[in-house]
Chain A
Amino acid sequence: MRRDWLQSWLADIIKRKHSAAQITLSHHNIYIVPSRQGAFFLCMVTLNFILGSNYQNNLILGVAYVMLLILVLALIYGYLNLHGLSIQLLDVKNNFAEKPVEVQIKLTSPHTCYSLDVASQGFDFSDCNSHYSQGAQVMSLFLHPGPRGRYTLGRLKLSSNYPFGLVRVWTYLNVDRTFCVYPSPLACQLTFSEQEVTAEKGQYVHQSTQSHENFDGLERFRPGISKSRISWRHFAKSQQLLVKQYSGDSFYSQHTFDYAAHDGPKEARLSKLCYQVLEADKQGDEFALRLSNAVQVTAGRGDKHREACLEALSDF
Chain B
Amino acid sequence: MNKTTQDIISQLSELILGKEEQIRLAVVCLLCKGHLLIEDLPGMGKTTLSHGLANVLGLSYQRVQFTSDLLPADITGSSVFNTSQQSFDFHPGPIFSQVLLADEINRASPKTQSALLEAMEERQVTVDGKTHPLPEPFFVIATQNPLHQSGTHPLPESQLDRFFLRISLGYPDEHAEKSLILGNNLQRQSLSELTCVLDLNALATLQQAVLDVNLSDSIVQYIINLVNFTRYSGQFSDPLSPRASIALGLATRAYALTQSRDYALPDDVQAVFAAVAGHRLNISANELDDVVKGIFDNVAVVL
A interface residues (Cβ-Cβ under 8 A, vs B):
88, 90-91, 106, 136, 138, 213-214, 247-248
Contact flag A247-B110 (CB < 8 Å), given A213-B68, A213-B69: yes
Q: Is the CB of B109 within 8 A of A213?
A: yes
Min CB distance B4 to A, Å, is 40
Q: Is the CB of B111 within 8 A of A247?
A: yes
Min CB distance A53 to B, Å, is 57
Q: Which residues on B sit within 8 Å (CB–CB) of A91? A: 234
Q: Is the CB of B109 within 8 A of A88?
A: no
Q: Which residues on B sit within 8 Å (CB–CB) of A248? A: 68, 109-110, 153
Min CB distance A207 to B, Å, is 12
Contact flag A214-B109 (CB < 8 Å), given A136-B228, A248-B153: yes
B interface residues (Cβ-Cβ under 8 A, vs A):
68-69, 109-111, 153, 228, 232, 234
Q: Is the CB of A247 within 8 A of B109?
A: yes
Contact flag A138-B232 (CB < 8 Å), given A213-B109, A247-B111, A248-B109: yes
Q: Is the CB of B111 within 8 A of A90?
A: no
CB<8 Å pairs between A and B, sample of 20: A88-B232, A90-B232, A90-B234, A91-B234, A106-B232, A136-B228, A136-B232, A138-B232, A213-B68, A213-B69, A213-B109, A214-B109, A214-B111, A247-B109, A247-B110, A247-B111, A248-B68, A248-B109, A248-B110, A248-B153
Q: Which residues on A sit within 8 Å (CB–CB) of B69? A: 213
Q: Which residue of B lies closest to A106 (CB)?
A: B232
Per the bound structure, the CA–CA distance linking A138 and B232 in Å amounts to 9
Q: Which residue of A lies closest to B231 (CB)?
A: A138
Per the bound structure, the CA–CA distance linking A51 and B68 in Å amounts to 93
Q: Which residue of B lies closest to A138 (CB)?
A: B232
Per the bound structure, the CA–CA distance linking A106 and B153 in Å amounts to 37
Q: Which residue of B lies closest to A213 (CB)?
A: B68
Per the bound structure, the CA–CA distance linking A118 and B68 in Å amounts to 55
Q: Which residues on A sit within 8 Å (CB–CB) of B110? A: 247-248
Per the bound structure, the CA–CA distance linking A79 and B110 in Å amounts to 58
Per the bound structure, the CA–CA distance linking A106 and B69 in Å amounts to 48
Q: Which residues on B sit within 8 Å (CB–CB) of A214? A: 109, 111
Min CB distance B282 to A, Å, is 13
Min CB distance A304 to B, Å, is 10
Per the bound structure, the CA–CA distance linking A252 and B133 in Å amounts to 40
Per the bound structure, the CA–CA distance linking A247 and B232 in Å amounts to 36
Q: Which residues on B sit within 8 Å (CB–CB) of A106? A: 232
Per the bound structure, the CA–CA distance linking A90 and B153 in Å amounts to 34
Min CB distance B19 to A, Å, is 34
Q: Which residues on A sit within 8 Å (CB–CB) of B153? A: 248
Per the bound structure, the CA–CA distance linking A247 and B108 in Å amounts to 12
Q: Which residues on A sit within 8 Å (CB–CB) of B234? A: 90-91
Q: Which residues on A sit within 8 Å (CB–CB) of B232? A: 88, 90, 106, 136, 138
Min CB distance B237 to A, Å, is 9
Per the bound structure, the CA–CA distance linking A106 and B228 in Å amounts to 11
Per the bound structure, the CA–CA distance linking A106 and B232 in Å amounts to 8
Min CB distance B157 to A, Å, is 13
Q: Which residue of B lies closest to A249 (CB)?
A: B153
Per the bound structure, the CA–CA distance linking A112 and B153 in Å amounts to 49
Q: Which residues on A sit within 8 Å (CB–CB) of B68? A: 213, 248
Q: Which residues on A sit within 8 Å (CB–CB) of B109? A: 213-214, 247-248
Per the bound structure, the CA–CA distance linking A91 and B231 in Å amounts to 12
Min CB distance A256 to B, Å, is 28
Q: Which residue of B lies closest to A216 (CB)?
A: B111
Per the bound structure, the CA–CA distance linking A214 and B228 in Å amounts to 42
Q: Which residues on B sit within 8 Å (CB–CB) of A247? A: 109-111
Per the bound structure, the CA–CA distance linking A106 and B234 in Å amounts to 12
6 A-B pairs with least C-beta separation: A106-B232, A213-B68, A248-B109, A214-B109, A90-B232, A136-B228
Per the bound structure, the CA–CA distance linking A213 and B109 in Å amounts to 9
Q: Which residues on A sit within 8 Å (CB–CB) of B228? A: 136
Per the bound structure, the CA–CA distance linking A86 and B232 in Å amounts to 13
Min CB distance A29 to B, Å, is 21
Per the bound structure, the CA–CA distance linking A91 and B239 in Å amounts to 14
Q: Which residues on B sit within 8 Å (CB–CB) of A136? A: 228, 232
Per the bound structure, the CA–CA distance linking A136 and B229 in Å amounts to 11
Min CB distance B117 to A, Å, is 16
Min CB distance A175 to B, Å, is 13
Per the bound structure, the CA–CA distance linking A32 and B111 in Å amounts to 62
Q: Which residues on A sit within 8 Å (CB–CB) of B111? A: 214, 247
Q: A90-B234, A214-B111 are in contact. List 18 more A-B contacts (CB 8 A).
A: A88-B232, A90-B232, A91-B234, A106-B232, A136-B228, A136-B232, A138-B232, A213-B68, A213-B69, A213-B109, A214-B109, A247-B109, A247-B110, A247-B111, A248-B68, A248-B109, A248-B110, A248-B153
Min CB distance A10 to B, Å, is 31
Q: Which residue of A lies closest to B232 (CB)?
A: A106
Q: Which residue of B lies closest to A91 (CB)?
A: B234
